[in-house]
Structure 1
Amino acid sequence: MTFPAPLTGVVPPVCTPLTPDREVDVPSLTRLIDHLVDAGVHGLFVLGSTSEVAYLTDAQRGLVVETTVAHVAGRLPVLAGTIDMTTPRVLDHAHTARAAGADAIVVTAPFYTRTHPAEIARHFRLVAARAGLPVFAYDLPDSVHSKLGPELVLELAADGVLAGLKDSSGDLGSFRTVVTGARTRPGVRGFTALTGSEVVVDAALALGADGVVPGLANVDPVGYVRLYELCAAGDWRRARAEQERLCELFGLVGVGDPARMGGSSSALGAFKAALHLRGVIDCPATAEPQVPLSPGEVERVGKYLASAGLL
């Protein structure tokens, strides 16, 4: 499909359903895609953090992109994460995504090795020159241990290197600088600014974000589409009420006992437990070595769903 510039609306980072033996559950993945498309989302982002991209093999990554592109069949743009440590590895993933028919790729700064800002800029320039697809930068300092400064993002946007930004930094001030610069900086055209937050979507849209990439939209895509539409219509009172409802639902990511599991196990386990309880996916398994939720923790997820009117 022709990639929209800018891309607007709700673009969920799609969970990757797994079988009990941790293979990609293709029938569940296609049901999840239908669950999202039927809710009215505006695009799909596969192979991001919520997709457990760091835990998947290269073959599994390829299968996710191929399955999603084939099932969407051009109805929505599909963004594919090509997240890896170095430029050559990212380009390998980018070529796989392009061959599968993805519409754009999403790329973090390099990680594991210590990188200088000049090397980060060179990384994005090389990927954009060789990938053959629009490139979205993914600002994820908690995982890659470097922050994409707004000046760097805007410089790369003005040079035609970046088509957009998915901001998961939690730094709303920095994100605002990008949003403002995308509107006013010479040379920047059609740049997409997306927030990865679940809990300040209304604020991000109020300051000019083009769209949102909330992991919780897997669980309640209708709610996030409704929130986006209320903000687009300027109905900020009702938008605030919907955002507050979603903030309450987002509490489910904390059901896991921090004495025995990390935040990723808790949050991704909760998303998948919620999708399983809602009948969207067959199995709530998360990838190894994440720790599964206990029956009691799954029960708590169900209570959050019930309170939000989703069961």
Structure 2
Amino acid sequence: MSGKSWQPVEGIIPPLVTPLAGPDALDVAGLERLVERVVQGGVHALFILGTSGEAPSLSYRLRRELIQRVCAQVRGRVPVWVGITDTAMAEAVALGRCAAEAGAQALVTAPPYYFPAGQPELIHFVRLLAAELPLPLILYNMPQMTKVRFEPETLAELVRIENVVGLKDSSGDLEYFRRAVELARARSDWRVWIGPEEWLAEALELGGHGGVNGGAQIVPAWFTGLYDAHCRGDRARVKELQNRIRQLGRIYTVGRHASAVVKGLKCALAWLGVCRDEMAPPFEPFRDPERERVRAVLVELGLLEKEPVEKSGTL
């Protein structure tokens, strides 16, 4: 079995933030810099409109604009994946069709996140959705946000659906990840990627196929370097880079709320001169004390000069 025109991707797929210049406006120049940063950094695909991309907080108009701009800029240099997670299946399908027309290669969905679906309902949902979509579908296990996970028994059923081609697991449960990798062996074209980057090396050792890691848009070379080192069996290099990645992960703990991960990513990218750190309403970016803590991590890791050049999140 194989999905519609699916070419399996292995390696590093950064889930991009959505650079914003206002409540319903893209930071176009920042987006262009971000896309070039990761493509030139050697990543293996891009993922837009995921958790890091604040997708549920964006208007459908802006989501479509983002899809069209990213696909036009990438020009087929790497595959583009588009998140279509929604509480309304009709909207997910419509966004999937927009992505296909723009030139994306795959779609990604988490479970609908308002009414918690039972596992039989989840299977039914994925079957209906996959049948309507023009592109291969990747499942996104994110129980922290959706209140529901794709249980292993459910995955065993979903692996049988031709147009469903893989799983991004952001649960942080390595035993669950191991089970998912085992289930993926039923299909030669099924792939499993890890979300939490602090477990990237361990996930690869378990047979995972790569990482969908937010930090890869900050320092692409650390993540692609770790993946390459794993492929050639250089355990020392893997350990060195995994340690750096874990140190970088301190930017995610600066804030106190679930939004801190996205705020940390955007703040770091703003300090690096890539894009603005404005958040989609109702959230706001870090204030100066938190910004300084993010900057301190970047300085300590040699990613930024000691003396700040730009203190504001606006570019």
Normalised to the residue count of structure 2, the TM-score between the two structures is: 0.92
Tell me what 2:254 maps to.
Answer: 255
> 2:302 is matched with which residue: 285, 290, 309?
309
CA deviation after TM superposition for structure 1 residue 54, in Å: 1.1
- 1:53 aligns to what? 55
- Show CA shifts across 1:205-261 (max 9, x none): 0111111001111211111111111111111222012101110111011122x3xxx
Aligned match of 2:189: 190
Indicate yes or no: 2:285 matched with 1:292.
yes
Secondary structure of residue in 1 paired with 2:164: coil
Any idea what the Cα deviations from partners look like across 1:22-49, whole Å, max 9, x if unmatched?
5111221111000001110000000000
CA distance in structure 2 between the partners assigned to 1:119 and 1:98 by the alignment: 26
In the alignment, which residue of structure 2 is the partner of 1:31?
A: 33
Q: Which residue of 2 aligns with 1:269?
A: 263
Q: Report if the CA contact (8 A) 1:254-1:263 is conserved.
A: no
- AA matched with 1:14: L
For the residue of structure 2 that corresponds to 1:173, the secondary structure is helix
Name 1:280's counterpart in structure 2.
274
Q: What is the distance in 2 between the residues matched to 1:3 and 1:293?
A: 41
Matched, 1:162 2:155: no
TM-fit CA distance, 1:114: 3.2
The Cα shift of 1:147 comes to 1.0
Aligned counterparts of 2:161 and 2:97: Cα–Cα separation in 1:
22
Aligned-partner Cα distance in 2 for 1:161–1:170: 26
What does residue range 1-311 of structure 1 map to in structure 2 within 5 Å? Answer: 5-183=7-185, 185=186, 188-256=187-255, 258=256, 262-264=257-259, 266-281=260-275, 283-311=276-304
- In 2 relative to 1, CA 200–139 (structure 1 residues): closer, same or farther, beyond 3 Å? same
2:198 counterpart SS class: coil
Q: CA deviation at 1:136?
A: 0.2
How far apart, CA to CA, are the structure 2 residues paired with 1:181 and 1:285?
40
Whole-angstrom distance in 2 between the partners of 1:163 and 1:148: 14
Q: What SS does structure 2 have at the residue aligned with 1:163? A: strand
Flag the 1:48–1:272 CA change in 2: closer, same or farther, 3 A: same
Query: Aligned with 1:164: secondary structure?
Result: strand
Asked whether the 8 Å contact 2:123–2:157 carries over to 1, the reply is no
Report the Cα offset of residue 21 of structure 1: 4.8
Q: Give the conservation status (yes or no) of the 8 Å contact 2:143–2:171.
A: yes
**Please, what is the CA RMSD of the aligned residues?**
1.5
Question: Are 1:43 and 1:78, in contact at CA under 8 Å, matched by a contact in 2?
Answer: yes
Of 147-156 and 221-230, deviating more is 147-156
CA-CA distance at 1:20 after TM superposition? 4.3
For residues 248 and 220 of structure 2, the distance between their equivalents in structure 1, rounded to whole angstroms, comes to 12
8 Å CA contact 1:81–1:107 kept in 2: the answer is yes
Gaps of 5+ in 1: none
**How many Å separate the matches in 1 of 2:172 and 2:88?**
24
Secondary structure of the structure 2 residue equivalent to 1:263: coil
- Paired with 1:17 and 1:290, the residues of 2 have a C-alpha distance of 14
Residues 27/3 of structure 1: CA separation in 2 closer, same or farther (3 Å cut) = farther
Paired AA for residue 221 in structure 2? V
Identity within the alignment, %: 35
Whole-angstrom distance in 1 between the partners of 2:280 and 2:67: 17
* Alpha-carbon distance in 2 for matches of 1:202, 1:115: 32
Contact kept, 8 Å, 1:13 with 1:213, in 2: the verdict is yes
Structure-2 change in CA distance of 1:3 and 1:252 (3 Å): farther
